[in-house]
Amino acid sequence: MKNKVKILREQKNLTQAELAENSGLSLRTIQRIESGSVMKGFTLKAVAKALHTEPEELFFNEEKSMNVDRAKLINFSALCGLIIPFGGVIFPLILTLKTKDETNKLLGKEIVSFQIVLAVFTSVLLMVTPFVQKSLSIKFPLFIVVLVLFISIKLLVILKNGVSLGKNGSLVIRLKNSVL
């Protein structure tokens, strides 16, 4: 059985260090728990108490852990950004906001956060490229390189995260700190 300590910790806006302090456990123990170590006895009760929940709530049912269909839909809806400007942010955001399941909502927020950063970064690069092209006297339209790079990164991220969601119900490529 997989645990959902990380999801509950992030929902409560706690760092691993804060959870360790609140539970009376070491930071390394919290890291092990979040990476999949099995909790028993005192550790299980201490983490549950620190997260203000029951010990049973710290584990996924096998059915529940694989129910990330909505997160897959949110992830693949980011492909709209290839056709509609900022569609890669707008459509996943709408789907995330309408999601009721907390696990899928958290995954959706992580997907949208990455798409926001990618869109802003690409927009800034597209604004800067004409000036760089002029100052370096480059004849080839530099913005095409930025667009191809943007499309490649977006496709890579969406495909890798889609495969990861299908296999283990989590994202491989995401930001350390959520924008949302």
Domain boundaries, given as residue ranges, for the chain: 5-64, 67-168
In tens, the pLDDT along 75-127 reads 999 999 889 989 999 999 999 999 988 889 999 999 999 999 999 999 999 99
Q: 64 pLDDT band (50/70/90 cuts)?
A: very low
Q: Answer with the residue of higher pLDDT: 55 or 147.
A: 147
Write the CA distances from 43 to 14, 31, 103, 127, 167, integer angstroms. Answer: 18, 13, 23, 52, 28
Q: pTM surpassing 0.85?
A: no
Q: Where are the beta strands (DSSP E) in the chain?
A: none
pLDDT of residue 1: 43
- Of 12-16, 104-108, 111-115, 167-171, the range with the highest mean pLDDT is 111-115
Phi, psi (deg, nearest 5) at residue 24 = 80, 15
Return the CATH number of 5-64, one of 1.10.260.40, 3.40.1160.10, 1.10.645.10, 3.40.50.970. Answer: 1.10.260.40
CA quadruple 106, 116, 161, 166: dihedral sign: positive
Q: 61 pLDDT band (50/70/90 cuts)?
A: low
Q: Give the C-alpha separation, 120 to 117, whole Å.
A: 5
| Tokens matching residue 93 | 């955001």
DSSP per residue, 97-148: HT---HHHHHHHHHHHHHHHHHHHHHHHHHHHHHHHHHHTT--S-HHHHHHH
Q: Give the C-alpha separation, 27 to 60, whole Å.
A: 22
pLDDT of residue 89: 95
Residue 43 has pLDDT above 60, yes or no: yes
pLDDT of residue 56: 79
118: closest CA among 166, 94, 72, 82?
82
Q: Give the C-alpha separation, 103 to 10, whole Å.
A: 11
Bridge partner list, 59: 3
Q: Give the C-alpha separation, 143 to 28, whole Å.
A: 46
pLDDT of residue 8: 86
